Amino acid sequence: GIKWGVKPGSYTHMTEFFGPLIGVMCADSLDHAIELVNQTGYGLTSGLESLDKREQDHWKDRILAGNLYINRGTTGAVVLRQPFGGMRKSALGAGIKAGSPSYVAQFMAFRESGFPHIGPIQKEHALLQIIQEWKRKVDWGGMDAFDGDVIRTVRAAKSYLWHVEQEFSKAHDYFHLRGQDNILRYLPIGTVMVRLHEDDSLFDVLARIAAVRISGCKLLVSVPPELENAVTAFLGSRDGRRFVGDAPVNLQTDEDVIHMIPYIQRIRYAAPERVPQEVSEAAAETGFYIARANVMMEGRIELLQYFQQQSICDSYHRYGNLGERSVI
């Protein structure tokens, strides 16, 4: 069925029916249309019919959906060509797309047996200078109490930086079809709370902080009020404050963490058994995802916790005519 004249904020507008019903709304502009779409809280697929490249780019930068289609239908996703999965209320768990190269990772339990491979890092980053200084301190015996954790953090941060350059900052097209671009890209998940636990090692804490900052997410560090140990003392030291940067470090109870859930996009714990039952139950009420896998040095695995994937299918040909792309 087709329902004409649907009002903004109405039941038809805000409800995902999952049936043969389309609600038609009138928008005053492209920005207004994007606003109406994003208001629903869902974000599985979205489509745009436009030959204006400026409109296409404007829409891609603002629409909150997992699969975007330009000048084609919004069904019929093909494995790997258009990996499938949504954002926000249309995502399940970590939101890693079905049919993407990383899909199976969410069903695996990883264990590291050594340091990750790291290639040359091309770009500067604020954390790079800090970890290089820490490496020199370790070499000269200046961080004896935390040598092992600091070395692992140094290797982890370098792995995160390298994999952002190699994988997570790039748009990937695995098919290169003439007439149709099929792009898979990664977007920072948003605000990530790094929640501390008494069993966390210094590496567990610093690696998560590094991953949030390097991925481009907004960092919140959450510490239980009663937690005072060598790890929290390091965070309060000059080295720790430099590493955290301008991000807030808040003393919060589990109840405080629960109240924060509507205002953040992810909570990152360092291990599954460190998530309190009441926090898990509160998150389950709205489908909020808590990242709880063991913290990894390997950036290709750890950084999946801080990005969401987006597929973009752009049929740029017009009935077989490639236009200006015919000379590229």
Q: How confident is the model at residue 155 (pLDDT cuts 50, 70, 90)?
A: very high
The pLDDT, as a whole number, for residue 79 is: 87
The pLDDT, as a whole number, for residue 328 is: 66
Per-residue pLDDT tens over the stretch 138-148:
988 877 778 89
- Stretch 87-100: mean pLDDT: 89
Per-residue pLDDT tens over the stretch 208-256:
999 999 999 999 999 999 999 999 999 999 999 999 999 999 999 999 9
Question: Is 90 exceeded by the pLDDT of residue 201?
Answer: yes
Per-residue pLDDT tens over the stretch 277-292:
999 999 999 999 999 9
Per-residue pLDDT tens over the stretch 27-66:
999 999 999 999 999 999 999 999 999 999 999 999 999 9
CA distance 322 to 55: 19
CA distance 25 to 14: 12
- Stretch 149-173: mean pLDDT: 97
CATH of domain 113-167+189-307: 3.40.605.10
Q: How many residues does the chain have?
A: 328
Average pLDDT, the chain: 94
Q: pLDDT above 70 covers what percent of the chain?
A: 100
CA distance 219 to 243: 12
The pLDDT, as a whole number, for residue 197 is: 98
Helical H segments across the chain, by residue range:
11-14, 30-38, 53-62, 126-139, 147-163, 202-215, 230-236, 238-244, 254-260, 277-286, 299-302
**Residue extents of the structural domains in the chain:** 2-104+171-185+309-327, 113-167+189-307
Backbone φ/ψ region at 164: left (φ over 0), alpha (ψ -120 to 50), beta: alpha
The pLDDT, as a whole number, for residue 264 is: 97
CA distance 243 to 279: 27
- How far is Cα of residue 263 from the mean position of the Cα atoms in its chain? 15
Residue that is written with structure tokens 């047996």 in the block: 113
Q: How confident is the model at residue 327 (pLDDT cuts 50, 70, 90)?
A: confident
- Stretch 163-184: mean pLDDT: 95
Q: Is the pTM of this model over 0.85?
A: yes
- Stretch 100-105: mean pLDDT: 92
What single string gives the DSSP state of each residue in 159-194? Answer: HHHHHIIIIITS-B-SS-BTTBEEEEEEEE-SEEEE
CA distance 302 to 279: 22
Tokens of 144: 């004896």
Question: Which residue has better confidence, 144 or 311?
Answer: 311
